[in-house]
Amino acid sequence: MSIEQRYRDVLDRIEAAAARVDRGVGDITLVSVTKTWPAETVLTAQQLGMRHFGENRAEELMEKRPIVEAALGPDSNITWHAIGALQSRKTNMIADSADVFHALERPKIAHRLSRRLVENGRAETGPLTVFIEVNLSGEESKSGLDCSDWESSAEQRQALRQLAELVQQLPGLAPRGLMTMAPWNVEDEVVRSVFRRARLLAYWLQEAAPDGHWAGLSMGMTDDFEIAIEEGATHVRVGRAIFGPRH
């Protein structure tokens, strides 16, 4: 199958999943995950109508973005999403190259990003939109702020609220919502319950930190984006279903 065929198929599946729960596709952003694929693949995807691209490594984002911009000119209208966990020594790359960051999990990273966003002028011109990544499954291998027991743990809720309020206060950062990943190799119903709990947690946070916009939900990948949409995802991050197996 070509990228075009796969992309059409993904759009159809997004629309069908949204229709099942009476949602419109207008509030669902498809982030096409181009990690491991060259800048030429991004250009092909752009010609097919894709406008949101996701990269999980800061270096890859830094490398591809200028190539794509050089090819398309200044008005490419592309939004670049950094979706992967971030080490503190790479915060400058993300503050310089990403429009949206999906994986904030620590106050230290928020401070470092903000400092750079003031330095590079973006605190004035265009902030970095931020999702806080939460770990709801408690799996050690998963990144994200531990919210595995948030319904009964006041401590976990407090840590999330504090990070959210920090994002609201720091210059250059714009709150958008929560991001989560479902555990691997589990039944659909387990995936669904993780996504549902993320939605309830976002509701809770929106009330607990009302001055920020926290209602966004970045969840759902190739294997589970339809369940995520049924459970309220506003951003799905899809790679293999569009571009094929990664090499």
Residue count at the site for ligand PLP (CB under 6 A)?
12
Binding-site string for ligand PLP from residue 7 to residue 46, where x marks contact by CB under 6 A and - marks none:
--------------------------x-x-----------
Instruction: Give backbone dihedrals phi and psi of 171, rounded to 5 degrees, phi first.
Output: -65, 145
Closest separation in Å from C-beta 35 to ligand PLP: 6
- For the CA atoms of 67, 71, 72, 73, the dihedral, rounded to the nearest 10 degrees, stands at 90
Neighbouring residues of 242: CB distance < 8 A, sequence distance ≥ 6: 3, 6, 7, 10, 32, 33, 45, 50
DSSP 3-state of 120: coil
Closest separation in Å from C-beta 246 to ligand PLP: 7
Residue of 113, 173, 191, 238 interacting with ligand PLP (CB under 6 A): 238
- List C-alpha distances in Å: 134 to 12, 108, 195, 198: 29, 16, 11, 8
Closest separation in Å from C-beta 10 to ligand PLP: 10
132 belongs to the binding site for ligand PLP (CB under 6 A) = no
56 vs 91, beta carbon nearer ligand PLP: 56
Two tokens, residue 11? 């759009």
- List C-alpha distances in Å: 102 to 3, 58, 187, 216: 25, 12, 25, 11
Residues 64-103 that bind ligand PLP (CB under 6 A): 83-84
Closest separation in Å from C-beta 73 to ligand PLP: 28
Positions touching ligand PLP (CB under 6 A) are 33, 35, 56, 83-84, 221-222, 237-241
